[in-house]
């Protein structure tokens, strides 16, 4: 039984009948129902700047035949609205004929609890904690110019009704706690940002004063940047720290290994399956099954259980990430990577937690091997052009390396590289793999979904650093 039709003019079996009738000549499709509650509480400039609660519910009705997707969504869950969507879909696909694929794997695994983080911590205690963050950071001295802190919490319930009356369900909690601080010294201002989160309650990340660690880290980054000097410009060696810098992997090769771009042959990787695309020590996976991680999913947004997909093994390209549509057209199986931002969006193959696994070198060995280069510890966002393979990301904490020693911090610079060739430039893989703190959101085709990344320290032989100092 579905939970979505209680206060509507339609019941589960009537909805199932519409789904079955609509999809009878289609290859695939489903009725996706979603109830999404979220909150945002922001402290800024010594005040609670905003407190917002969002309540959103709706359906996305999808039919797929051949390569064609017909989609109709609405927040009006009613008989009339569903019928209208059904008519629309049938009209689009009127000249097509497909055979419905009933096969969908089942799972008993669960990678997170069904809790509602918004309700599991009182509004007052959230406000109090934000105030404590502000007081704690401002007590570090007049150098603190601005403090922003916020809670973002959500609970999403989804149901997928397939053509044979199967109903697949998932309940997904997600939280994020973020602190940003601006420091000012001698007329110079710099920002430091840090955050934590995942699919648990807020208190799992903040208890025993661990919120202070988040504040301290934001403060430390801003403080380092106050002493930064202009970054160098040109090609040089780059050592990446462990953890969050793995967004390099996400941008540089992750997107290029998503099924849709390879089926359409618009990815720079589309003809490289089975070939050496990285140095031998490089193994990269995309794992949806890590407990309570931001990018984890029990089932994806088509109902397929997620898995740990090996993308690159010892340098050889092994798999793309697939949703059902692209898997069918490429003659393979879904890897449980079919995701959508909400009921308003079509399914696309997406990353979950993308990780480069540990090798055998220490970070010290990497740094001491570099005559002239940079050591990048943390990044802001990144972006990729999957067709040309060019990708960028922005350093938020980085240092110069001179003669094997870490030197002065450098100003935020963009690093640019070429996806298909960058992994061949990875000469040392560290033994210190670390997960990111749970803060990533990936954007594709206008859809944002939560993701995770992980990597050990790595040494890249040659990358272009976009500083101002020649």
Range 386-405, binding another protein (CB under 8 A):
387-388, 390-394
Binders of another protein among residues 63 to 102 (CB under 8 A) are 67-76, 81, 85, 88-89, 91-92
Q: Whole-angstrom distance between the N-terminal and C-terminal Cα of the chain?
A: 66
Match 């973020």 to its residue by tokens: 178
CB 389 within 8 A of CB 417: no
Strand duo 447-455 + 353-356: pairing: parallel
Q: In this structure, are residues 32 and 338 in contact, taking their beta carbons and an 8 Å threshold? A: no
Scan residues 145-164 and list those touching another protein (CB under 8 A): 145-146
Q: Does 315 bind another protein (CB under 8 A)?
A: no
Q: Six-digit token pair at 94?
A: 């009127």
User: Judged by CB under 8 A, which stretch of 150-158, 167-175, 198-206, 412-420 contacts another protein?
Assistant: 412-420
Question: Binding residue for another protein (CB under 8 A) from 12, 14, 56, 318?
Answer: 56
- Residues 11, 42, 44, 185: which binds another protein (CB under 8 A)? 44
Spatial separation of the C-alpha atoms in residues 377 and 391, rounded to whole Å: 18
* Structure token pair of residue 234: 């040109």
| Binding mask of the shown chain, residues 354 to 393, with x at each position contacting another protein by CB under 8 A | --------------------------xxxxxx-xx-xxxx
Residue 48 vs 316, nearer CB to another protein: 48
Alpha carbon of residue 134 to chain centroid: 28
Cα–Cα distances in angstroms (integers) from residue 55 to residues 37, 52, 247, 346, 436, in the given order? 5, 10, 31, 20, 29
Binding string, 215-254, against another protein, x = CB under 8 A?
A: ----------------x-xxx-------------------
Q: How far is the CB of 387 from another protein (least distance, A)?
A: 4
**DSSP designation for 300:** -
Nearest to 434 by CA among 295, 240, 242: 242
CB nearer to another protein: give 70 or 311. Answer: 70
CA distances from 66 to 86, 223, 257 (A): 18, 56, 22
Phi then psi for 81, rounded to 5 degrees?
-65, -45
How far apart are the C-alpha atoms of 164 and 387, rounded to whole Å? 39
Q: How many residues bind another protein (CB under 8 A)?
A: 80
Cβ 53 to another protein, closest distance in Å? 5
Q: Tell me how far, at minimum, the Cβ of 234 lies from another protein, in Å.
A: 4
Given a contact cutoff of 8 angstroms between Cβ atoms, the answer to whether 359 and 430 are in contact is yes
Binders of another protein among 116-145, rule CB under 8 A?
Answer: 123-124, 127, 131, 145
CB 382 within 8 A of CB 250: yes
Q: Least CB distance from residue 356 to another protein, whole Å?
A: 21
The DSSP bridge partners found for residue 334 are none
Question: Which of 203, 418, 427, 432 lies at the binding interface for another protein (CB under 8 A)?
Answer: 418
Got the DSSP string for 427-448?
A: EEEBS--EE--S-EEEEETTEE
Binding marks (x or -) toward another protein, 249..288, rule CB under 8 A?
A: ---------------xxx-x--x-----------------
Q: How far is the CB of 237 from another protein (least distance, A)?
A: 15
Compute the least distance from the CB of residue 432 to another protein, in Å: 27
Closer Cβ to another protein, 160 or 325, answer by number:
325
Q: Name the residue nearer to another protein (CB basis): 51 or 107.
A: 51
Judged by CB under 8 A, the chain residues 431 through 460 that form the site for another protein are none
Which sign, positive or negative, has the C-alpha torsion 202, 204, 207, 212? negative
Q: Which residues contact 310 (CB under 8 A, 6 or more apart)?
A: 283, 284, 285, 318, 319
Q: Considering only residues 171-210, where is the footprint of another protein by CB under 8 A? A: 182, 188-191
CB of 467 to another protein, least distance (A): 6
């Amino acid at each position: 039984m579905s939970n979505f039709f209680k206060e509507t003019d339609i019941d589960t079996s009537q909805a199932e009948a519409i789904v079955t009738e609509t999809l009878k000549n289609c290859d695939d499709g489903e009725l996706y129902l979603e109830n999404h509650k979220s909150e945002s509480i922001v402290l800024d400039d010594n005040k609670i700047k905003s407190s917002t609660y969002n309540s959103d519910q709706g359906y996305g009705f999808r039919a797929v035949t051949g390569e064609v997707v017909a989609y109709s969504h609405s927040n009006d869950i009613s008989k009339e609205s569903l019928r209208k969507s059904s008519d629309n879909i049938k009209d689009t696909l009127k000249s097509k004929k497909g055979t419905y694929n009933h096969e969908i794997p089942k799972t008993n695994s669960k990678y997170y609890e069904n809790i509602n983080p918004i309700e599991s911590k009182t509004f007052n205690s959230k406000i109090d904690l934000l105030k404590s963050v502000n007081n704690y950071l401002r007590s570090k001295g007049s150098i603190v110019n601005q403090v922003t802190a916020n809670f973002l919490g959500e609970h999403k319930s989804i149901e997928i009704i397939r053509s044979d009356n199967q109903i697949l369900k998932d309940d997904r909690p997600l939280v994020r706690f973020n602190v940003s601080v601006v420091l000012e010294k001698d007329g110079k201002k710099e920002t430091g940002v840090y955050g934590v989160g995942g699919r648990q309650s807020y208190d799992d990340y903040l208890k025993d004063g661990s919120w202070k660690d988040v504040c301290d880290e934001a403060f430390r980054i801003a403080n380092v940047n106050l002493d930064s000097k202009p970054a160098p410009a040109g090609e040089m060696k780059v050592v990446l720290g462990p953890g969050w810098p793995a967004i390099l992997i996400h941008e540089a090769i992750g997107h290029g290994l998503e099924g849709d771009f390879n089926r359409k042959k618009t990815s720079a990787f589309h003809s490289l399956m089975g070939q050496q695309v990285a140095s031998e020590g490089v193994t990269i996976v995309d794992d949806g099954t890590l407990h309570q991680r931001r990018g984890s999913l029990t089932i994806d947004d088509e109902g397929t259980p997620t898995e740990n997909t090996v993308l690159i093994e010892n340098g050889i390209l092994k798999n793309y990430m697939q949703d059902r549509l692209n898997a069918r057209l490429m003659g393979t199986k879904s890897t449980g990577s079919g995701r959508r931002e909400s009921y308003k969006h079509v399914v696309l193959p997406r990353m979950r937690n993308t990780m480069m696994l540990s090798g055998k070198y220490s970070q010290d060995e990497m740094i001491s091997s570099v005559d002239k280069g940079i050591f990048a510890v943390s990044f802001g966002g990144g972006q990729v052009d999957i067709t040309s393979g060019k990708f960028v990301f922005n350093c938020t904490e980085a240092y110069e390396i001179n003669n094997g020693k870490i030197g002065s911090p450098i100003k935020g610079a963009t690093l640019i590289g070429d996806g298909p060739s960058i992994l061949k430039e990875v000469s040392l893989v560290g033994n210190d793999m670390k997960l990111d703190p749970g803060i990533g959101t990936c954007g594709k085709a206008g859809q944002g979904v939560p993701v995770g990344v992980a990597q050990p320290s790595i040494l890249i032989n040659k990358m272009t650093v976009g500083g101002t100092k020649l």
